[in-house]
Amino acid sequence: TWSTRPQRILRAVQQSATRGDPRSVVRAIDQFCRHKEWAMNVGDEKGCILDSVVSELNPSTVLELGTYCGYSTVRIASLLPPHAKLITLEFNPDFAAVARQVIAWAGLQGKVQLVEGASGDWIPKMKEQFGVKTFDLVFLDHWKDRYLPDTKLMEECGLLRKGSILLADNVICPGTPDYLEYVRNSPRYKSQYFKSHLEYTKAEDGLEKSVFLG
Ligand SMILES: O=C(NC/C=C/[C@H]1O[C@@H](n2cnc3c(NCCO)ncnc32)[C@H](O)[C@@H]1O)c1cc(-c2ccc(F)cc2)cc(O)c1O
Ligand SMILES: [Mg+2]
């Protein structure tokens, strides 16, 4: 077929979700991915864990690595306090184009800055380009072999402060063994595993929540 999966996800949102209603956008994507075509959104089960971490933290500055279609972007942004900001990095222009429209359909474009480019290029420029001092929360959901190098890069760039939270998707499936070993054994982090399931399946997966201790 001529369209891509992200384009079909966007069409499902435009056909089934209400403009300006983030929950209906999330529901439309979950329905499509559960009943029509699987896609690598964090999904509804792990999404509830993500929601509880965001709600409890009430962050002012959030960084998301790997926007894809904007599913977790919408979940996070819909829970942020009024002046909070979410910066999300996506280096695939086609995925970024879909995500912008999904975020706009949810009415959240005022809270989200979608930056088209690679995390390795943009993390060192966060302070000068976006006036970010440190991030209260980072959601890692991009290439799994980039979680560890990008975490070290964020440390080096002084983007983490005492109490910053790293929340990582897929630490079991597909898995991020080097990242997990680092945050679970480094004295600079306190880590906690939230057992769940791979989106829309019965396979095990989970989120790792790591507090940077400074
Ligand atoms: O692979 C998975 N996610 C990758 C996400 C990539 C998205 O992020 C973007 N991206 C990647 N690296 C960077 C980057 N920086 C790094 C490169 O410079 N900078 C900016 N953007 C980046 C891509 O363009 C995509 O939009 C996954 C797989 C399964 C899965 C499980 C079981 C299966 F059987 C099959 C699949 C489940 C999941 O939840 C998953 O998240
Ligand atoms: Mg994921």
Reported as a single tens digit per residue, the pLDDT across 44-57 is 999 999 999 999 99
Model confidence at 202, in pLDDT bands (50, 70, 90)?
Answer: very high
Question: Does the model's pTM come out above 0.80?
Answer: yes
* Cβ pair 84, 96 in contact under 8 A: no
Average pLDDT over residues 102-115: 98
Q: Of ligand 1's atoms, which has the minimum distance to the CA of residue 121?
A: 18
The number of C-alpha atoms within 13 Å of 34 and in the hemisphere containing its C-beta is 14
Cα→Cα distances 77→17, 22, 174, Å: 17, 9, 25
* Cβ pair 32, 193 in contact under 8 A: no
The number of C-alpha atoms within 13 Å of 98 and in the hemisphere containing its C-beta is 22
Supply the pLDDT for residue 2: 73
Cite the active site residues. Answer: 141, 144, 169-170, 199
Q: Establish whether residue 168 lines the binding site of ligand 1, counting it when its CB lies within 6 angstroms of any ligand atom.
A: no
Residues 6+ positions from 170 with CB-CB distance below 8 Å: 141, 144, 176, 198, 205
Distance of alpha carbon 140 from alpha carbon 151, whole angstroms: 9
**pLDDT digit string (tens) for 116-164?**
999 999 999 999 999 999 999 999 999 999 999 999 999 999 999 999 9
Supply the pLDDT for residue 90: 98
Average pLDDT over residues 189-214: 98
Supply the pLDDT for residue 1: 56
Choose which residue among 37, 143, 144 to substitute to test ligand 1 binding: the one with the highest number of ligand atoms within 8 A of its C-beta: 143
Model confidence at 77, in pLDDT bands (50, 70, 90)?
Answer: very high
DSSP, res 146 = G
Q: Establish whether residue 208 lines the binding site of ligand 1, counting it when its CB lies within 6 angstroms of any ligand atom.
A: no
